[in-house]
Structure 1
Amino acid sequence: MPYRLTAFMLWLFLSSLAAADDRHDWLDLAWWSDGQLPVPSNYRVTSTTETLTTDEADIPIFIARPETEGEFPGVLFVHGRRGVDPLVQGHVRRLAARGFVVYAPDLYIGRFIEVMPIEHDYVLETDLNDVLEHVLASGTHAGDRVCVYSHTRGGYKTLKLAVTLDRQSDALACYVSYYPHMQDPNAPEPMQVYRYAVEADRMTLPALIFVGENEQYQRKRGIDMAVASMQGRGLPVELVTYPGVGRGFDFREPPVRTFADDLATRDALMRATAFMNRQLGAGD
């Protein structure tokens, strides 16, 4: 009887894995059932910096792309409060190594804004739109649209770019963001905790959002509420929550970096690569 019960429980557990696949989107059945590990594309990366001069700002754009010849889709990387410092440049290069031309403007330098600002300057969305126009007109990527890819406060700037400036209608193909700030940074505290930016419900772009389960409570609550609302309205958004990690898992470095941070970062890059390639009509 104990053996029969154990065998039955094992069968029940394995059956539940297959049945619960929709609840555990990290479970890769091709790997678990057939032993197939995904093999990502890897490219050596070259990087340059150019400056976009507008009537009001000189905006440096860090650009990373595969060294090899060929056409690659474009990605507009939008920074958070750190700006585009060496740690963030590392993320840009890791993304470019997946087979993208990545444009990462430093909007703070263009406006002489110190890093880690508390208040948000709404003119940055206008500058970001100028960068997008420049990228579409003179960029070296393939196609006539790009995906926006961001983290933290950059998630809010890209949301405004897509919705308020309506670039989702003519220039953007998708929205990818790591633990985005889904609320106006200048909104009062109750709005930060109990509400999310109304623009989220007007975004029609396919969206992929990553967050750690140990993210700051007030930030994760806003993300969860925004995604639930968007999904409830039938908008094409997916949320991936990583266990055991918190804020900054995509760029934290040793000695504070953990194995869980590394696993989450690699998985997110793989998912983002496949997602953006689908939306941009490129190969995985």
Structure 2
Amino acid sequence: MGTEIANRGYLALPSGGSGPGVVVLQEWWGLVPHIKTVTDRFAEAGFVAIAPDLYDGETTTSPDEAGRLFMALNIEQTARKLEETLQYLQEHPAVTGDRLGVVGFCMGGQLALLAATLSQRVGAVVDFYGIHPNVQPDFSKLRAPVLGIFGENDGFVTPEAVRSLEAAIQQAGGSIETHTYTGADHAFFNDTRPEVYQPDAAADAWDKTLSFLRRELATA
């Protein structure tokens, strides 16, 4: 189990005492138990993982309230928080290597892309169906490879949107590998939402995420 770090978020350490660093970025619900559980899972897999609290303590289970928080997010302040989190994690004594991973879900997926354009500390990005209309990363500054995870039936991030993302990153000289799961909806990885959770797709996406991060951060 991880611990709450004042003004930082939720930090989880691997049982081995050290490992590569990974930042975990929340969905539009806030830093809810699901994201803390995912952070713990990264620690169990050998990573030093931290989930920053991008809503400063606010969480919700209401889609309407989540939408309000999502649209009210101050992108400039959030960008600073992302950079501060990356610096904090890189300087943490348990973190090995000089490059970090960033993994985000929904809103957090788009912010993971943004984080990688803000800091050269980022060595790998995993974008789970990322979306935010006010977050427009400058992909000319993207140096880290991207793994994109999407659902075929996602009404927010459609297959066309995925192709556009691939094109934008590749045209800017970046690297992206995507996987779109047949029959999966938006947020199919979230096992606290039975109406959209797809266990087989979620398990495969998790395996791909761990393999990608281990490969890209191994030489850091």
What TM-score bracket applies, with the shorter chain setting the length?
0.7 to 0.9
- Alpha-carbon distance in 2 for matches of 1:251, 1:84: 13
Structure 2 gap ranges (5+): none
Map 1:26-41 to 2 at 5 A: none
Of residues 82, 102, 123 in structure 2, which corresponds to 1:173? 123
Aligned to 1:190: none
* Partner SS for 1:66: coil
Q: 2:184 aligns with which of 206, 221, 245?
A: 245
Measure the CA separation in 1 of the matches of 2:38 and 2:11.
12
Aligned position for 1:213: 152
Q: Which has the higher contact order (CA 8 A, sep 6+)?
A: 2
Contact 2:8 2:85 in 1 (8 A): no
Show the counterpart of 2:81.
127
2-structure distance, mates of 1:180, 1:97 = 24
The question of 1:95 aligning with 2:64 is answered no
Q: Superposition pairs for residues 195-274 of structure 1, below 5 Å?
A: 197=136, 199-217=138-156, 220-232=159-171, 234-253=173-192, 255-256=194-195, 258=197, 261-274=198-211
Q: Which residue of 2 is the match for residue 42 of structure 1?
A: none
Distance 2:73 2:161 in 1: 18
Q: Does 1:75 align with 2:22?
A: yes
Q: After superposition, what is the alpha-carbon deviation per residue over 1:238-268, rounded to whole angstroms, capped at 9, x for unaligned?
A: 011001111111113364355xx11111111
Partner secondary structure for residue 249 of structure 1: coil
Q: Does 1:157 align with 2:96?
A: no
Higher radius of gyration, 1 or 2: 1
Q: Is 2:14 the counterpart of 1:66?
A: yes
**Cα 1:162–1:262 shift into 2, 3 Å:** same
Aligned amino acid, residue 162 of structure 2 = I
In the alignment, is the contact (CA less than 8 A) between 1:79 and 1:104 conserved in 2? yes
CA contact (8 A) 2:31 2:59 kept: no
In the alignment, residue 277 of structure 1 is paired with which amino acid? Answer: R
Q: Distance in 1 between matches of 2:116 and 2:172?
A: 18
CA distance in structure 2 between the partners assigned to 1:173 and 1:181 by the alignment: 21
2:170 is paired with a residue of what secondary structure?
helix
User: What is residue 50 of structure 1 aligned with on the other side?
Assistant: 5
AA at the equivalent of 2:204: D
Instruction: Give the TM-score of the pair, scaled to structure 1.
Output: 0.66
Q: Alpha-carbon deviation of 1:61?
A: 1.7
Question: Are the equivalent residues in 1 in contact too, given 2:124–2:145 (CA < 8 A)?
Answer: yes
* TM value normalised by structure 2: 0.84
Gaps of 5+ in 1: 1-45, 52-58, 186-196
Structure 1 distance, partners of 2:42, 2:154, is 22
The CA RMSD measured in Å over matched residues stands at: 2.4
Measure, in 1, the Cα distance between the counterparts of 2:200 and 2:51: 24
Amino acid at match of 2:4: T
Cα displacement (A) at 1:201: 4.8
Cα distance between partner residues in 1 of 2:194 and 2:81: 36
Shift of 1:233: 5.1
* Residues matched between the structures, number: 211
Counterpart-to-counterpart distance in 2, 1:267 and 1:109: 32
